[in-house]
């Protein structure tokens, strides 16, 4: 099976790194308990321009300093032995080098890496059978196109429901969903 895998808040805890940097800039002290929006910058009352300014200053640190979720590395190493793995992240191209260095640092193997905004198009073009992601808009978009998505649970995606959306609260559940999809769809 060809598996597409998002990074931020799917493989790794980007929220903690964003909160650290955003709190430093804003003077606020938001925590994980405050996060209920995929677009974290909106919790700070920022517009996209302010978000871009902060992200341009701290993006490297955010991406380098994030830690993998429990069991993510181990499950991904196992999946790599059995499946084709493509990293599909919406990170801007300017963060490709730090992204690849982070993956190497944590010994996460993959066959391809795509830094793209249009994940549906990327998954279609590259023949990805299932995408593992946390973003509600990507889950809805792929499910509407009848493409399976394993939605890594986050507070901001709990309302997403579709027959093509399979939930996972941790990486052991991701592995179970992959096994299920391997026998059901592919």
Residue 66: what pLDDT?
97
Give the DSSP letter string of 8-66. Answer: BTTTB-HHHHHHHHHHHHH-----GGG---SSGGGGGT--HHHHHHHHHHHHHHHHHH-
Q: How far is CA 1 from CA 41, 47, 82, 156, in A?
A: 35, 40, 8, 28
Q: Give the integer Cα–Cα distance in Å for 125 and 121.
A: 6
pLDDT, tens only, 117-154:
999 999 999 999 999 999 999 999 999 999 999 999 99
Q: Give the integer Cα–Cα distance in Å for 91 and 104.
A: 17
Q: Give the integer Cα–Cα distance in Å for 176 and 71.
A: 13
Q: Using DSSP, state whether 111 is helix, strand or coil.
A: coil
**Mean per-residue pLDDT, 30-56:** 96
Residue 185: what pLDDT?
55
Residue 182: what pLDDT?
86
**Mean per-residue pLDDT, 81-86:** 97
More confident residue, 183 or 32: 32
The pTM of the full predicted model, rounded to 2 decimals, is 0.95
Helix axis angle, 48-65 relative to 96-105, nearest 10°? Answer: 30
Q: Using DSSP, state whether 128 is helix, strand or coil.
A: coil
pLDDT, tens only, 62-73:
999 999 999 999
């Amino acid at each position: 099976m060809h598996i597409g895998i998002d990074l931020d808040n799917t493989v790794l805890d980007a929220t903690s790194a964003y909160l650290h940097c955003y709190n430093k800039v804003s003077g606020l002290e938001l925590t994980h308990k405050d996060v209920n929006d995929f677009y974290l910058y909106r919790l700070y009352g920022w517009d996209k321009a302010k978000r871009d300014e902060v992200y341009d200053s701290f993006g490297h640190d955010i991406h380098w300093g994030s830690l993998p979720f429990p069991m993510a590395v181990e499950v991904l190493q196992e999946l790599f032995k059995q499946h084709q793995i493509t990293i599909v992240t919406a990170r801007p191209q300017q963060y490709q080098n730090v992204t690849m260095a982070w993956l190497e640092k944590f010994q996460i193997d993959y066959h391809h890496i795509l830094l793209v905004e249009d994940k549906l198009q990327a998954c279609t073009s590259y023949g990805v059978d299932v995408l593992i992601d946390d973003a509600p808009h990507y889950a809805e978009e792929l499910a509407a196109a009848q493409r399976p998505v394993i939605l890594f649970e986050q507070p901001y995606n709990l309302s997403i429901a579709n027959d093509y959306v399979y939930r996972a609260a941790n990486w052991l559940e991701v592995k179970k969903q992959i096994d299920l999809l391997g026998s059901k769809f592919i």
